[in-house]
Amino acid sequence: MITCPIFFCAYIKAMAKIKYIEHNGKEHVVEVQNGLTVMEGAVQNDIPGIDADCGGSMSCATCHVYVKEDWYNKLPKKEMGEDDMLDQAYEPNSNSRLSCQIMVSDELDGLSVYMPEKQV
Amino acid sequence: MIKTDVVIVGAGPTGLFCAHQLGIIGLKCEIVDNLNKIGGQCIELYPDKPIYDIPAVPECTGEELTNNLIEQIKPFKFNFHLNDRVQELTNENDNWVVKTTNGKEFHTPNVVIAGGVGSFEPRKFPTKSAEKFDGTSVLYSIKDKTIFKDKSVAIFGGGDSALDWAIELSNTSKVSLIHRREEFRGAPASVKKIKELSEKNIINLFTKYSIKDVKGNGSLEEVEIKSEEGESKILKADYVLGFFGLIMQLGPIAEWGLNLDKKAIPVNTENFETNKKGIFAIGDICTYPGKLKLILSGFHEGALAARGCFKYARPNEKYRFEFTTASNTIKDRLGVK
């Protein structure tokens, strides 16, 4: 039997390993499909600590995460408005990002994000 | 006490369109919302952002959508109860008694929960010690500005509310403005004004600082602020004001016994009734297999929930489906010929 190569290819999806670390230190490592956001990766895998009340429209600051410097500087820069929303997050600092604004790609394979104590 | 056919909890797009559908089929409703304006998330979170997926409306903003929905239900003259929140639902002889925080009471056979992700509440300080002074000297909104006269006031935040109040109160109070970064998101004119006032030493401006602690015996005396590097400063303060925008809290809805699943209310997809007879849930707050959090889905859910309400509101009548294009009864209700 010959497998149609095109048909087969449709099932190979590029994924990146993302580590979500809860505030209590509990780690969750999941494969997130390229093109999804870090927020979606958490929500789809039932990882606690990211609420994402507004569903990813950058209007609520409840998908706030901290990213350590080594990764923070590798992420695509914040777009206009993200810092304004972060002002309204729970305990933001200079390592803060909204996970709905971080798009997963090959470059992000191995990324770790830390959750704040709470989102609201 | 107000008797009505339906109480709608939430005046967002879904609640508004459900009200329209109730009006079309000849039912009365009362609409309660915690915000001081109609429109829910559309008006509070994204009034200026364009929406592209409302059927037959290629593009409109949250504000435009809200205004059109308000216009659409005008003929029915429904009452809105804004700045109020439904607190308690109790069942009494097949009727629901709905009580609000402002002391209003409704008696109704139907409640439609169109509460989105919950009600908007101000985001509070993360510091535990601030809770002790909450409502007395730690405040998140201002009702009476005269209480700040000749007092020291520490204002936290970088948006328009923080800037506007810092400018306003600097006339009569000793104001410190504290913000977590150098950039402000408020209107450029206000930012300019704040910088001027800071240069003239009328306002003490602290950027890249956030709250660490509030202290005082009985009444508030000082607030401690910290930089990200860990450096801290103590400021004298009689009042501490926080303006960090609004967050959505499910609030009392969680206590109504509706079998919540991840902050959402399970419903059937025939009429969007919950596990309780006469309580319906529509829009972002409801969940069922295949649920999409789209405004258009909320409209559909509202239309079906309205028909669900009919059988409890008019138990002796049979609901007759009619088109707005053809029915004279509906045209009468809309006040059109």
Considering only CB atoms, B249 lies closest to which of A54, A94, A120, namely A120
Of A33-37, A59-63, B28-32, least confident by mean pLDDT is: A59-63
- Count the domains in chain B: 2
Could you tell me if B251 and B230 lie in one domain? no
In which band, very low, low, confident or very high, does the pLDDT at A11 lie, cut at 50, 70 and 90? low
β-bridge pairing B79-81 and B29-32 = parallel
pLDDT tens for A74-107 read 999 998 889 999 999 999 999 999 999 999 999 9
Could you tell me if B47 and B107 lie in one domain? yes
Burial class, B143, CB count within 10 angstroms (exposed 0-12 / middle 13-18 / buried 19+): exposed
State the pTM of this model: 0.76
Could you tell me if B142 and B192 lie in one domain? yes
What's the CATH code of the domain at B16?
Answer: 3.50.50.60
Strands ordered across the beta sheet of B152-156: B138-139, B239-242, B152-156, B174-179, B203-207
DSSP state, residue B154: E
Complex prediction ipTM: 0.78
Domain assignment present for residue A17? The answer is yes
Residues of B with CB under 8 A from a CB of A: 41, 45-46, 49, 117, 123, 126, 157-159, 179-181, 183, 185, 210, 228, 244-245, 247-249, 293
Could you tell me if B27 and B103 lie in one domain? yes
Domain assignment present for residue A120? The answer is no
Could you tell me if B116 and B256 lie in one domain? yes
Domain assignment present for residue A73? The answer is yes
Domain assignment present for residue A45? The answer is yes
In which band, very low, low, confident or very high, does the pLDDT at A54 lie, cut at 50, 70 and 90? confident
Could you tell me if B10 and B145 lie in one domain? no
Which residues of chain A are within 8 Å of residue B183 when distances are taken between CB atoms?
83
Range of the domain at A41: 8-114
Is A69 touching B (CB cutoff 8 A)? no
Per the listing, tokens 């006469």 go with B278
Could you tell me if B148 and B211 lie in one domain? yes
Q: Which residues pair with B319 in a beta bridge?
A: none
Domain assignment present for residue A2? The answer is no
Whole-angstrom distance, CA of residue A36 vs CA of residue A21: 19
Determine the residue of chain A that is closest to B212 in CA distance: A91
Q: Is residue B16 within 8 Å of residue B67, measured between CB atoms?
A: no
Is A62 touching B (CB cutoff 8 A)? yes
pLDDT tens for B216-259 read 998 999 999 999 888 999 999 999 999 998 888 888 999 999 99
Range of the domain at B111: 2-121+247-334
**Which of B186, B210, B244 is where one domain is finished?**
B244
Size of interface A-B (CB pairs under 8 A): 56
How many angstroms away from the CA of B45 is the closest CA of chain A?
6
Domain assignment present for residue A3? The answer is no
Could you tell me if B111 and B259 lie in one domain? yes
CA angle, residues A87, B187, A95, in degrees to nearest 5: 20
Domain assignment present for residue A25? The answer is yes
Is A59 touching B (CB cutoff 8 A)? yes
DSSP state, residue B18: H
Domain assignment present for residue A86? The answer is yes
> Span A32-47, mean pLDDT?
95
pLDDT of A2 strictly over 60: no
Could you tell me if B11 and B116 lie in one domain? yes
- Provide the pLDDT for residue B94: 86
Write out residues in chain B with pLDDT < 70, as ranges: none
Find the farthest-apart pair of alpha carbons in chain A and give their distance in angstroms, rounded: 59
**Which of B200, B218, B244 is where one domain is finished?**
B244
Is A80 touching B (CB cutoff 8 A)? no
Gyration radius from chain A CA atoms: 16
pLDDT tens for B87-143 read 999 999 889 999 999 999 999 999 999 999 888 888 999 999 999 999 999 999 888
Q: Report chain B's mean pLDDT, rounded to a whole number.
A: 95
Q: Is residue B279 within 8 Å of residue B89, measured between CB atoms?
A: yes
Is A67 touching B (CB cutoff 8 A)? no
What's the CATH code of the domain at A38?
Answer: 3.10.20.30
For B331, residues 6+ apart whose C-beta sits below 8 A from its C-beta are: B324, B337
Considering only CB atoms, B45 lies closest to which of A60, A83, A92, namely A60
pLDDT of A8 strictly over 70: no
- Count the domains in chain A: 1
Considering only CB atoms, A87 lies closest to which of B41, B158, B247, namely B158
Could you tell me if B109 and B163 lie in one domain? no
